[in-house]
Chains A and B, each alone.
Chain A
């Protein structure tokens, strides 16, 4: 990337989504015209109930779910089948169920993030270049793991430790955008707080923007710079946590029995 392009990118949004629409075969519409722009370095939370379309939106940004209509631009580059793989390398992603390979070690899982740039034989024998190994260790230390965890299989880590490894993997390519899909859904409340704090802190140090889906209101309020409320595939709220009033929450989650019915029906 030339200096001029970098400047232009730095001034523009790191991610724009324009009129994203998606309907699964034999299912309800999941995204009904979502448009948003994420500014560099900001921590945005996608808040909504289960089935509101958060996961589909995040997966479509990284190209795991093809959209029916709409456009996605990452740092000014349009997401197309041709640019898909190069754009993916500029995005870090943290997954709901961690997405780790249980039999690979913590370090191997982190280093796996560099796979697209490496020759096949290095992957086959898990022989990563020395700089990658050093970076993986530094990242594991940064997310709060210890020397004893480096060569331990992911299956031997606790839930919180697994997601710390997941965050380290998302950071290994120095992304300017991190997508996090319910990163703390399967963690206990205290660990969830810690992991969210870590995600925010490391992303800020990195200068990366974060788009993180959550269904917990308290976590969204505590960590977000900006909250985007999603309900039944539409954006119903967009603003700083301070503006998230009871009325706005009702718009995002519904009230009374309505809170549960749509979630159950769509999920």
Chain B
């Protein structure tokens, strides 16, 4: 170690003419690409991807007029036709409203009267008779839109509560699940497995069971979203702690402080920006997933979507989809703004 020669004890100190640059790709790369190709071919067979290509081909031919119709075209066409115009107004038969008072209509609403032919069995003659009845509807011009917006707000509220619970659970859990701060290796292992378990259970599945336990509604949805979010947040929070710069930590530890003080004074200030970013990502994700878990009855706009879809009311479905889409866009912009302010 005392002279330069000892730095290359294994005779690597050859003349530069014999040095070789390692190629970026070699035969191993080629083999791996070939293997991947074979595996994908087998999988394509299993997935019946040949049908995808024939159906798409049919659809393209139909769309340029080479063919009369295609399966995809028919499927999409029938749905989109029924989606337009989207449902904005709410029409309720007055007979279905309890304590209806025509003198006090809700704001901006009016009454519509229609002649409706109704068939009924005449009990006297035992024959079907058709008579014309007058039916009155209460029409609220933006009724359904407002109702759906309310449902969307419910989903957003669910997502906010779920994210809040997730952060509160993840903060202590990430401390235990960070290798360099865990109070005990056994606790570390337990925390890590618990977090992985939460991440492994999709919220749609846990929502199914939580609906059984807590009944239909927002509580089951909030819990399902929160549990899955903890699986993500706690893992990433813990990894941020593990990756934090050690120099400030050593400095605090050198004052005689314990682990918690080091976490608060040297780690938290470092990881706070990424914690904020992660929390916003989870909130964004919970809003999108919140629309989905409503499908199994866990509250919010998804529950409404599922109901309308099952009743083939595609105009209402279109309104719901549009509102989900616009809300996610708006919240994305809002989140970006807040993030810029905080970081």
A-binding segment of B21-29, B101-109, B180-188, B264-272: B264-272
C-beta contact mask, A146-183 vs B, less than 8 Å → 1, else 0? 00000000000000000000100100010000000000
The answer, among A85, A101, A261, A266, for a CB contact under 8 Å with B256, is A85
Using a Cβ–Cβ cut-off of 8 Å, how many residues does chain B contribute to the interface with A? Answer: 25
- A212 at interface by CB-CB < 8 Å: no
A interface: dominant SS: helix
Q: Which chain A positions have C-beta within 8 A of B6? A: 261, 265
- B1 at interface by CB-CB < 8 Å: yes
- B112 at interface by CB-CB < 8 Å: no
A-binding segment of B71-79, B138-146, B246-254, B286-294: B246-254
Say how far B272's CB is from chain A's closest CB, in angstroms.
Answer: 7
8 A Cβ contacts from A86-118 to B: 86-89, 91, 93, 95, 97-104, 112-116
| Contact across chains for B261 and A101 when beta carbons are under 8 A apart | no
Say how far A151's CB is from chain B's closest CB, in angstroms.
Answer: 15
- CB nearest to B269 among chain A residues: A103
| Contact across chains for A91 and B254 when beta carbons are under 8 A apart | yes
CA distance A166 to B247 in the complex (A): 12
CA distance A113 to B251 in the complex (A): 9
| Contact across chains for A112 and B250 when beta carbons are under 8 A apart | no
8 A Cβ contacts from B235-293 to A: 247-248, 250-258, 260-261, 264-266, 269-270, 272
- A4 at interface by CB-CB < 8 Å: no
- CB nearest to A153 among chain B residues: B269
| Contact across chains for A120 and B270 when beta carbons are under 8 A apart | no
Known: A116-B261, A120-B261, A123-B265. A88 touches B251 (CB 8 A): no
- B118 at interface by CB-CB < 8 Å: no
Say how far A79's CB is from chain B's closest CB, in angstroms.
Answer: 12
C-beta contact mask, A107-140 vs B, less than 8 Å → 1, else 0? 0000011111000100110000000000000000
Residues in B lying within 8 Å of A, measured CB to CB: 1-4, 6-7, 247-248, 250-258, 260-261, 264-266, 269-270, 272
Instruction: Show 27 residue pairs from A and B whose CB-CB distance is below 8 angstroms, ordered by the A residue.
Output: A28-B1, A59-B250, A84-B256, A93-B255, A95-B250, A95-B251, A95-B254, A97-B247, A99-B248, A99-B251, A99-B254, A100-B248, A101-B270, A102-B248, A102-B269, A103-B272, A112-B252, A113-B255, A114-B255, A115-B257, A116-B255, A120-B260, A169-B255, A254-B2, A257-B4, A258-B2, A261-B2
Task: Give the 9 A-B CB pairs with smallest separation, nearest first.
Answer: A99-B251, A88-B256, A103-B269, A89-B256, A116-B256, A115-B257, A115-B261, A101-B269, A85-B256
Residues in A lying within 8 Å of B, measured CB to CB: 28, 59, 62, 64, 84-89, 91, 93, 95, 97-104, 112-116, 120, 123-124, 166, 169, 173, 254, 257-258, 261-262, 264-266
